[in-house]
Amino acid sequence: MNLCLVSRSVFLVLTFACTLVVPARAADEPGNKTKEQGTRAAEPFRPEPGKFPPLDKAHAYRGELVFVDHANRRGSLRVQGSGVFRRNDPNPFALLPYGMVRYHGAPADLRDIPLGTVMHVLAFLPPDPKTSPVPVLPVNSKEIDASHYRGVGIFPAENHVLLLEDEPSHCQRLGLIWKLHTVEVKEQEGMITSTRMPKQGGNPKPSVETMTFDASTRFWRGREVLNLDDLTAEGTWPTAGKKALGDQTVLLGITWKPTPEGVFTRFHVSDLWFDDASIQRAGKIQAETHKAFIRSRWMPAWVDSVEYGKFGRATVTATLFGGMDESLYADFKKDVPAMMNAAENTLKHAGGHYGPAQLASNGSLTGVTRAAADLLSGGSGIQIRFETDLIIEGLRPGRVVRLRPANWPLVEPPREEYLGFYFSAEDRFPKPDIFPPKRDPY
């Protein structure tokens, strides 16, 4: 249908006129665009095999999680650009094998993040375009205007992600806090104005952001989870009208909902944490979720080297990937029995119909060393030496493996999380074909 009735196009004219105004404002908003490491990476960076990529070469952006294929550690984000947010096609991304996900200030898997959550991203070009599980884009894609009022930056070629974190995780990592200025309520929904700034004070260019909330927004206070009715009943927030909130410090959970009045980009508050206790409690639940997850799926690592012995014996040196709860790393101790299984870049186990332990190499940890590592390096800084009497295929330098110290549970992961015996090439290297092609918004 290409019928354009004049009366229906008034909105379009207004929208077009707004393009001159809104990009300037969006650029001033307290996104990470002008503040974080990796932002000013002039040249796109392609990670090299066997090396954790330098963080200052990462491209930083934000996007709404729209699609998740957690078994293959990939998905899509609607990336915030300078134009009309809603028109932006979801941009596929893949987690690097050592890519980290954080939710509520704790380690997470992609499956833990609710669809709709706005995520902060640090990403690189595909390490190997030939085996990329998501579409490979021109290296300068982030600089190309996507047209149709979408602007630049919404399809970055840097779609292989080192860090994917929600707003509370982002703020906690960078020592930021949101300060609430005003709230305006009408019929159980409304808007807040707030500023993201350093917790310890001193923001050279504080910028006020307006966000929506509604009757489904959750307010967390200590043990309590409250709703808007509870806040209005207490007199904390007004039933109707505007109220100054005196720069109250909070953390925000941010999503996106369709916005009236032709606003280009306005985010929505799904959760609001009033105090440290409440966000710590949320972080604790998430940390426990992820600990149980990693214990059952094993610790991912990559092989630094293999020293082959006789009759199948070998000593494998491997570096554990980063971003996990400390208690998980603490289980890797010298002389502890362990298992090591081959895995793919998706972190899927090889074999698996009888559990990953069936085909894994058995052995023991003959050495565990720890070097200082930045949270965002991708590595944990922990290197282990593992001696086995039956080295298996897949444990080779540069390859991804998964390790299980003896005290972790011996369980069988579900079917989509292992390759099986009769895997196809596509099981190892998922094709990007599941993602719909990009298209004009018309």
Which of the residues 137 through 176 are near other proteins (CB under 8 A)?
A: 148
Site for other proteins in 215-254 (CB under 8 A): 215-216, 218, 220, 223-227, 230
Nearer to other proteins, 139 or 225 (CB): 225
66 near other proteins, judged by CB under 8 A: yes
Nearest to 217 by CA among 276, 268, 177: 268
Binding part of the chain for other proteins, among 22-30, 197-205, 329-337, 426-434 by CB under 8 A, reads 426-434
Non-local CB neighbours of 417 within 8 Å, separated by 6+ positions: 71, 297, 348, 349, 352
2 near other proteins, judged by CB under 8 A: yes
Chosen residue from 50, 175, 367, 441 binding other proteins by CB under 8 A: 441
Binding part of the chain for other proteins, among 1-9, 53-61, 138-146, 314-322 by CB under 8 A, reads 1-9
* Token pair recorded at residue 143: 């600089």
Chosen residue from 88, 132, 172, 346 binding other proteins by CB under 8 A: 88
Binding part of the chain for other proteins, among 54-62, 96-104, 238-246, 356-364 by CB under 8 A, reads 356-364
Non-local CB neighbours of 261 within 8 Å, separated by 6+ positions: none
8 near other proteins, judged by CB under 8 A: yes
Chosen residue from 115, 233, 244, 375 binding other proteins by CB under 8 A: 115
Supply the DSSP string of 272-341, one letter for each residue: EE-SHHHHHHHHHHHHHHHHHHHHHH-EEEEEEEEEE-STT-EEEEEEEESSS-HHHHHT--TT-EEEEE
Distance CA 247, CA 252 (A): 14
Burial of residue 37, with CB atoms counted within 10 A of its CB: 0-12 exposed, 13-18 middle, 19 or more buried: middle
135 near other proteins, judged by CB under 8 A: no
351 near other proteins, judged by CB under 8 A: yes
Site for other proteins in 269-288 (CB under 8 A): 281, 284-286, 288
**216 close to 226: Cβ distance less than 8 angstroms:** no
What minimum distance in Å lies between the beta carbon of 222 and other proteins? 9
Q: Are strands 160-166 and 91-103 parallel, antiparallel or unpaired?
A: parallel
Burial of residue 48, with CB atoms counted within 10 A of its CB: 0-12 exposed, 13-18 middle, 19 or more buried: exposed
Binding part of the chain for other proteins, among 4-12, 46-54, 94-102, 302-310 by CB under 8 A, reads 4-12
Query: Token match 């099981």: residue?
Result: 427
Nearer to other proteins, 188 or 207 (CB): 188
Chosen residue from 49, 50, 114, 206 binding other proteins by CB under 8 A: 114
How many residues contact other proteins, by CB under 8 A? 81
11 near other proteins, judged by CB under 8 A: yes
What minimum distance in Å lies between the beta carbon of 262 and other proteins? 8
Nearer to other proteins, 11 or 308 (CB): 11
Distance CA 273, CA 275 (A): 6
Site for other proteins in 68-87 (CB under 8 A): 68-71, 78, 86-87
Nearest to 413 by CA among 341, 337, 328, 333: 341
Nearer to other proteins, 8 or 310 (CB): 8
186 near other proteins, judged by CB under 8 A: no
What minimum distance in Å lies between the beta carbon of 125 and other proteins? 24
Nearer to other proteins, 301 or 392 (CB): 392
Q: Torsion angle of alpha carbons 254, 268, 123, 159, nearest 10°? A: 130
**57 close to 237: Cβ distance less than 8 angstroms:** no
Whole-angstrom CA distances from 206 to 61, 242, 332, 430, 437 are 19, 22, 44, 43, 39
What minimum distance in Å lies between the beta carbon of 238 and other proteins? 18
425 near other proteins, judged by CB under 8 A: no
Nearer to other proteins, 16 or 199 (CB): 16
What minimum distance in Å lies between the beta carbon of 289 and other proteins? 4
Distance CA 131, CA 145 (A): 27
